[in-house]
Structure 1
Amino acid sequence: MSSSLEFEAKAVDKALEKASKALNIPIEKLQYKVISYGSSGIFGLVGVKKAKISVTVPDHVKLKTSPPPPVHPEPESPTRRADEEIAADAGDDNLEAVNEPTVNRVAALVEEAFGTESDAVDLDSDAIIAGKDALRRIIDFITTGADISIETKADRIMFNIEGGNAGVLIGKRGQTLEAIQYLVEKIVNRQSDKRIRIQVDVEGYLNDRRENLRNLARKLSEKAKSTGKPATIGQMNAHDRRIIHLTLKNDQGVRTQSIGDGFYRKLVIFPKKRRKKQAL
């Protein structure tokens, strides 16, 4: 009785070539069915899906290659503290933190229809033009009536969106906006020789969120100090965690620590133990 094997590649013809080589059968003699034709995704960056075929293997055929052993990821290093917490959350603000499922949801929508000081970026550069064009194409699949303005600060390009359905563009906890920023930064930096940081905002949402996070940090700091118990803020990306760390960095009564794994880790505010005064 014949068995079947599945082969994946960027396109069906490449998957057929792989199957032909593995089974030592000419492509024209392969018996197969296409499971998925694959997808190039959004701008070739995310949402990419490989083509997959199922090939009938004759009983007399022996495979020339065997599948590679599974790769087990190495465990992450222990969580860093104090200033290391800020450094850990200070790097690729939107790149490290973006929730991949959220990025894929933004890509699906399209398919269906802060750093070192340097000179300001030239507004006429190809990178900025590419970034604005990419952002326009993305938001046009999500909403209508949105306008884009551009501002540069040192090595950071700021794209500000006004109009349209702001709530949909921002998404829950800003996840959709974060995914859009991730995509635009990827595209811009494909056109640039140096790393250019990108910020995408919708009607001042980022400034409002920054101020709300600072107020939340101060409120939970006071709570932790008054109760003597840790206060936890769940599901925060690296950019938001850094805001909390910086807000409470000089607060002598508490310390902050990021805990957990994955894109959205928790941040815990620990009250510091008070030292007892020594008797004279």
Structure 2
Amino acid sequence: MSETIDSRSAEAIDREGDVAADYIEELLDICDLGGDIDIDTKNGRAYVSVADSESDLERLSKAEVVNALQELTRLAVQSETGEFSRVILDIAGSRAARQAELSVLVDKAIERLEAGSSEADLPPMSSYERKLVHDIVAERGFVSESHGEGRGRHTVITRH
């Protein structure tokens, strides 16, 4: 049995993904929406993706809706397993779309730095989105740190 970075077993992560997928499947059934559910494991987390075959999921794929559904799914998993859940939910490619938006946001912040600002603050976002931003910033050759607490936690980008 392989151990993940956060000491959870692959079996526990697989169970988390299965419980999350069951929850999402029930939700889609209640809403009378279609979608193909895929479960994957990356970096010690379960990823549940819902592919849209008939554009039924367009309204559910908005970033704020996906984040809310992800939190509900995490609570459902925690209720079922008794363990804190870090499952990541993707609906109809919402994560890739959000990553593209974050890339544009980082590019605009870097433009401010290149125009003479000493630092560029980004708006508050989830820990997952901040991690994506840190990766994008590093790829661009800049430095970033998270600042603030709770819902106000945000990323600040600076030069080396």
The two structures have a TM-score, normalised by structure 2, of 0.69
Q: Following superposition of structure 1 onto structure 2, how do residues 1-280 of structure 1 map, counting pairs within 5 Å?
A: 116=6, 119-121=9-11, 125=15, 127-142=16-31, 144-153=33-42, 155-163=44-52, 164-171=55-62, 174-192=63-81, 194-228=83-117, 230-249=119-138, 255-259=144-148, 263-270=151-158
**Structure 2 unaligned residues grouped into runs of 5+:** none
Distance of 2:13 and 2:142 partners within structure 1: 45
TM-score, scaled to structure 1: 0.44
Tell me the amino acid that sits aligned with residue 6 of structure 2.
T
Structure of greater Rg: 1
Instruction: Give the Å deviation of 1:162.
Output: 1.6
Residue 130 of structure 1: how far off its partner (Å): 3.2
C-alpha root-mean-square deviation of aligned residues, in Å? Answer: 3.6
Query: Judging changes above 3 Å, is the alpha-carbon distance between structure 1 residues 157 and 252 closer, same or farther for their aligned structure 2 residues?
Result: closer
**CA deviation digits over 1:109-145, x for unaligned, max 9?**
xxxxx953765337984x5443222212223344512
Amino acid at match of 1:224: L
d(CA) in 1 for partners of 2:146 and 2:14? 42
Q: 1:264 to 1:139 in 2, by over 3 A?
A: farther
- Contact preservation (8 Å) 1:148, 1:159: yes
Unpaired stretches in structure 1, ≥5 consecutive residues: 1-113, 273-280
Identity between Structure 1 and Structure 2 (%): 21
Q: Give the partner amino acid of 1:269.
A: I
